[in-house]
Structure 1
Amino acid sequence: MNVTKRYEKELSPEQSQELISVLKVRFEKNMPRHNDINWAKVQSKLVAVPEKMWSLNEMEVTGGEPDVVGYDEARDEYIFYDCSAESPKGRRSVCYDREGLESRKKHKPENNAIDMVTAMGCELLTEQQYRALQKLGDYDLKTSSWVQTPADIRERGGALFCDFRFGHVFLYHNGADSYYGARGFRCSLRV
Structure 2
Amino acid sequence: MKNKPQLSAEQQEELIKILKTRFEKKPNRHENIKWEDVQKKLESNPEKLWSLNEMERTEGEPDVIGYDKKTNEYIFIDCSLESPKGRRSLCYDRDALNSRKENKPTNSVVDLANEIGIEILDEEQYRELQSLGNFDLKTSSWVKTPDEIRKLGGAIFCDKRYNTVFLYHNGAESYYAARGFRGVLRI
Report the TM-score range of the alignment, normalised by the length of the smaller protein. over 0.9
Structure-2 separation of matches of 1:54 and 1:9: 7
Structure-1 separation of matches of 2:5 and 2:121: 22
Residue 83 of structure 1 is matched in structure 2 by: 79
Listed as ranges, the gaps of 5+ residues in structure 1 are: none
How big is the alpha-carbon RMSD for the aligned residues of Structure 1 and Structure 2? Answer: 1.0
Structure-2 separation of matches of 1:69 and 1:171: 22
Moved over 2 A (4+): none
Structure-1 separation of matches of 2:73 and 2:86: 27
Residue 71 of structure 1 is matched in structure 2 by: 67
Structure-2 separation of matches of 1:169 and 1:11: 36
Matched, 1:162 2:163: no
Residue 9 of structure 2 is matched in structure 1 by: 13
Q: Secondary structure at the match of 1:162?
A: strand
Q: Secondary structure at the match of 1:71?
A: strand
- The Cα of 1:108 is off from its aligned counterpart by 0.5
Structure-2 separation of matches of 1:168 and 1:54: 34
- The Cα of 1:35 is off from its aligned counterpart by 1.3
Percent identical among aligned pairs is 62
Matched, 1:141 2:126: no
- Once the two structures are superposed, residues 17-57 of structure 1 have per-residue CA deviations (whole angstroms, 9 ceiling, x without a partner) of 00000000000000000011000000000010111000000
- Once the two structures are superposed, residues 158-189 of structure 1 have per-residue CA deviations (whole angstroms, 9 ceiling, x without a partner) of 00000000000000000000000000000000
- The Cα of 1:9 is off from its aligned counterpart by 2.2
Q: Secondary structure at the match of 2:18?
A: helix
Matched, 1:108 2:107: no
Give the TM-score, by structure 2 length.
0.98
- The Cα of 1:106 is off from its aligned counterpart by 1.5
Matched, 1:122 2:113: no
Residue 43 of structure 2 is matched in structure 1 by: 47
Give the TM-score, by structure 1 length.
0.96
The one of 25, 36, 53 equivalent to 1:57 is: 53
Residue 22 of structure 2 is matched in structure 1 by: 26
Matched, 1:153 2:149: yes
Amino acid at match of 2:131: K
Q: Secondary structure at the match of 2:173?
A: coil
- The Cα of 1:105 is off from its aligned counterpart by 1.5
Residue 92 of structure 1 is matched in structure 2 by: 88
Structure-1 separation of matches of 2:59 and 2:114: 17
Matched, 1:36 2:32: yes
Q: Secondary structure at the match of 1:55?
A: helix
